[in-house]
């Protein structure tokens, strides 16, 4: 079996998609962390996220926003703290980052439900025949006081995309159906682009929708959680995801047995 290439991490993934013009409209402004670039993005956007390149599950992500001469730092599900100078902010972030590589990313100001931001997971899986399917959509609503939407880390919850968009943006059933179709299409396009790097069997695409209804691509997860979908009121979505995985694994085992 051929050895796999190393995973790209957040920075190289962003560049991988940015290099395809079809994805650029979906990508938040993102740079590799330096103090100078952090300050520049804060000046442009007033609010940014500082994320570890190799991070996952929302761990060690910090939101930073500026108001006048003050900076507010919101780490994961802790309460925000105020820092009263740029030098204090940079010292805080230096301690937080340690020697790890980070990126700085524009805060896209996600749409909210009851003042809590949410994003959307688009679940993509290969079936037994090796074809990509979109097997589920769900909205991940951040927990109280959280800077991240990761459900486990923020103590948030999961709802259907339809409920999220109705409750937050008051969209019609028709507009929601059109948006769900766009999300699935983005999921298929993401898989096609990622497989130019190497093959995958499951990809979770995290998509944000801002307060104006614009779609943004936030993350691409090559080991996506299934358990998110277990919490939906309709159990059939989780069952389909599990069934698709079982059938793919069974088909692979059968092919290996024939090849022996």
CA dihedral sign, ordered 60, 40, 47, 83: positive
Identify the pLDDT of residue 1. 46
Both 144 and 34 in one domain: the answer is no
Both 91 and 189 in one domain: the answer is no
* Boundary (domain end) residue, out of 71, 88, 106: 106
Query: pLDDT of the chain along its 260 residues, tens only?
Result: 467 899 899 999 999 999 999 999 999 999 999 999 999 999 999 999 999 998 766 678 999 999 988 999 998 777 889 999 999 999 999 999 999 999 999 999 999 999 999 999 999 999 999 999 999 999 999 888 777 777 766 678 999 999 999 999 999 999 999 999 999 999 999 999 999 999 999 999 999 999 999 999 999 999 999 999 999 999 999 999 999 999 999 999 998 888 75
Both 68 and 159 in one domain: the answer is no
Both 37 and 53 in one domain: the answer is yes
How distant, in Å, are the alpha carbons of 43, 74, 146, 176 from that of 117? 23, 14, 9, 18
Both 91 and 126 in one domain: the answer is no
User: Quick one: CA torsion of 147, 153, 157, 160, rounded to 10 degrees?
Assistant: 80
Both 246 and 159 in one domain: the answer is yes
Both 195 and 91 in one domain: the answer is no
* Boundary (domain end) residue, out of 73, 106, 139: 106
Both 119 and 246 in one domain: the answer is yes
Identify the pLDDT of residue 71. 97
Name the residue range of residue 126's domain.
110-259
Identify the pLDDT of residue 221. 93
Domain assignment present for residue 234? The answer is yes
Both 198 and 121 in one domain: the answer is yes
Domain assignment present for residue 10? The answer is no
Q: Taking a C-beta distance cutoff of 8 angstroms, is the pair 212, 109 a contact?
A: no
* Boundary (domain end) residue, out of 42, 76, 106: 106
Identify the pLDDT of residue 143. 84
Domain assignment present for residue 101? The answer is yes
Domain assignment present for residue 82? The answer is yes
Domain count of the fold of the chain: 2
The burial class, CB within 10 Å (0-12 / 13-18 / 19+), for 104 is buried
Measure the CA–CA gap between 54 and 102, rounded to whole angstroms. 8
């Amino acid at each position: 079996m051929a050895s796999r290439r190393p995973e790209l991490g957040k920075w190289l993934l962003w560049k991988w998609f940015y290099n395809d013009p079809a994805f650029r409209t979906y990508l938040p402004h993102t740079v590799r962390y330096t103090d100078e670039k952090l300050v520049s993005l804060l000046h442009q956007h007033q609010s940014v996220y500082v994320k570890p390149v190799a991070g996952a599950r929302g761990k060690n992500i910090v939101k930073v926003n500026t108001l006048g001469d003050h900076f507010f730092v919101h780490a994961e599900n802790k309460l925000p703290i105020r820092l009263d100078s740029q030098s204090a902010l940079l010292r805080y972030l230096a301690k937080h980052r340690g020697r790890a590589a980070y990126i700085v990313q524009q805060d896209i100001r996600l749409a909210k439900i009851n003042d809590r931001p949410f994003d959307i997971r688009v679940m993509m899986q290969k079936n037994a025949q090796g074809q990509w399917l979109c097997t589920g959509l769900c909205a991940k609503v951040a927990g109280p006081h959280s800077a991240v939407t990761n459900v486990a880390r923020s103590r948030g919850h999961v709802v259907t995309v339809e409920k999220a968009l109705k409750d937050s943006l008051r969209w019609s059933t028709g507009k929601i159906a059109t948006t769900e179709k766009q999300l699935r299409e983005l999921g298929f396009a993401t898989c096609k682009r990622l497989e130019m790097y190497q093959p995958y069997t499951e990809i979770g695409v995290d998509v944000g929708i801002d307060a104006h209804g614009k779609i943004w691509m936030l993350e691409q997860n090559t080991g996506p959680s299934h358990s998110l979908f277990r919490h939906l009121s309709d159990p059939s979505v989780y069952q389909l995801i599990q069934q698709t995985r079982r059938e793919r694994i069974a088909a692979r085992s059968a092919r290996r047995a024939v090849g022996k």
